A and B are shown apart, each in its own frame.
Chain A
């Protein structure tokens, strides 16, 4: 429904929150795929045939080091472009005092 009117504002807080939950699971699944295919794709061969990147076996570099950097960046992009700021307090907008 919110797709039809393309409305950013038409979506309620819960609808937005539900979407964000799906995006989060989606990104985790994409990371899982990356992790799986890089590690076993380049690591499931005899060690004598291993190639290396910066001294690490390629499978390890791609899955653990590059995967870490890429998906930290993806998490930033997800939050920046897909998540929205919504009020958590509903109608009463009293500012909360907080931990710095």
Chain B
């Protein structure tokens, strides 16, 4: 290894130390916590405004916003940035729509996971088991995609091998999530958010000055292909129906993502939520705009690249001096790690809390808690978190090509399953178990069918027909099977 590599690795190394520090801090709080489950899986509902904002940002931005997305912007130009800006309202939509009602109800029923909410609302074993298993499967797929993105990036920037990157990276995420639980996840998300902002600023500044200013870059892009500076991209790839369907996929549909929803009852008070809406909107907008601009402008700086995922690493190495490159590399790695960690802790929660403690060993949850039972739950939680992490890690060694699409697959599948059971469960009195179950099955299976066999539906992303089908099935089945005892109970209605 030569010296520039060391300079790149230095900020990365410092950053990893900080992350480990936060994990052990969280672990100390965890060991003193009265209610282990509530602390480990939801951080005792203590997130303040800034941490809540950053942890939400972390779940929206992932490998696709830092590696895949800018790679596509490189090929598509400004139109792809227009598409990415669709995500701006995500924070105020998720926090606002699930809202305080969700937070209040969650407190009343002591919900620690999204499935706890579904269980209390629908009183149905089938709904909870289906929800938990689909959550676990989709999260594992999404985490693999994230690991691959992270390792690729690491490989591209440092010159170390893909496997080395994967190992450093995976070991860190698995350890801090296992050891520190939700609190470590939220705190590292906050640090990672700041790193992402710094990294994006540095790269954007570098790209613009190397390209000779905005005006020059835009005119160079126009010389390469005029379509790059239109909203449509080359060959009209970003057609109107296609881009409009992203309003469903990355904006309105995001309300239904379980790892976003769980944050909507993990905050401390109303004020935290208000501050979080403002901060995360600012940060999400800045990161989306900044990163995709870098990708699109990169076309002028390093022309002629073919593999989408290699564009960002190439750009980083070309544009930034080594220390900044290391800082920048930490940015997307942070985005990726922070997405994986939240999925890892939730997959673990689904296994431990939603499946094992509810249906296999219900005694361990009851009021007659003993020190012994408590200790066994602790042990189990640590083991499950680390084993799920290791499975994902093992699956990441043989990677497929364009990670954006894999990521979107799990992303859409989760929305198809969870959006309506959550939103209708919260707001519609007649939503019942049969409706929720049928909707989840119809949503997830039609999403798979559309993704594999139809690809685009009337020019739109297939999430649009999928969510419509899931909604219709939910309403029709609920209305037909509704009995008076299904009606939403007062816990969910009064307040």
Within 8 A of B (CB), among A74-100: 75-76, 78-80, 83-90, 96-100
Assembly CA distance A30 to B103 (angstroms): 26
**Nearest CB of chain A from residue B332's CB, rounded to whole Å:** 21
A10 within 8 A of B: no
- Whether the Cβ atoms of A63 and B85 lie closer than 8 Å is yes
- Whether the Cβ atoms of B96 and A23 lie closer than 8 Å is yes
Assembly CA distance A4 to B3 (angstroms): 73
Complex: chain A residue closest to B183, CB-CB: A99
Assembly CA distance A79 to B218 (angstroms): 37
Residues of A within 8 A of B86 (CB): 35
Residues of B within 8 A of A59 (CB): 231
Residues of B within 8 A of A18 (CB): 99, 101, 427
Size class of the contact patch on chain B:
35 or more
Known contacts A40-B231, A71-B89; is-contact A90 B104 (Cβ 8 Å)? yes
Known contacts A40-B231, A56-B214, A85-B270; is-contact A17 B100 (Cβ 8 Å)? yes
Assembly CA distance A53 to B156 (angstroms): 35
Residues of B within 8 A of A55 (CB): 213-218
Interface of B is mostly: helix
Residues of B within 8 A of A12 (CB): 495
B131 within 8 A of A: no
- Whether the Cβ atoms of A89 and B218 lie closer than 8 Å is no
A side interface size, CB within 8 A = 54
Residues of B within 8 A of A85 (CB): 269-271, 274
Residues of B within 8 A of A79 (CB): 92, 274, 277-278
Residues on A lying within 8 angstroms of B by beta carbon are: 12-14, 16-18, 20-21, 23-25, 27-28, 31-32, 35, 39-40, 43-44, 47, 50, 52, 54-57, 59-60, 63-65, 67-68, 71-72, 75-76, 78-80, 83-90, 96-100
**Nearest CB of chain B from residue A56's CB, rounded to whole Å:** 6
- Whether the Cβ atoms of A72 and B89 lie closer than 8 Å is no
Assembly CA distance A3 to B230 (angstroms): 46
**Choice from B88, B100, B268 contacting A31 with Cβ under 8 Å:** B88
**Nearest CB of chain B from residue A41's CB, rounded to whole Å:** 10
Assembly CA distance A25 to B99 (angstroms): 12
- Whether the Cβ atoms of B93 and A99 lie closer than 8 Å is no
Assembly CA distance A68 to B92 (angstroms): 13
Assembly CA distance A57 to B89 (angstroms): 23
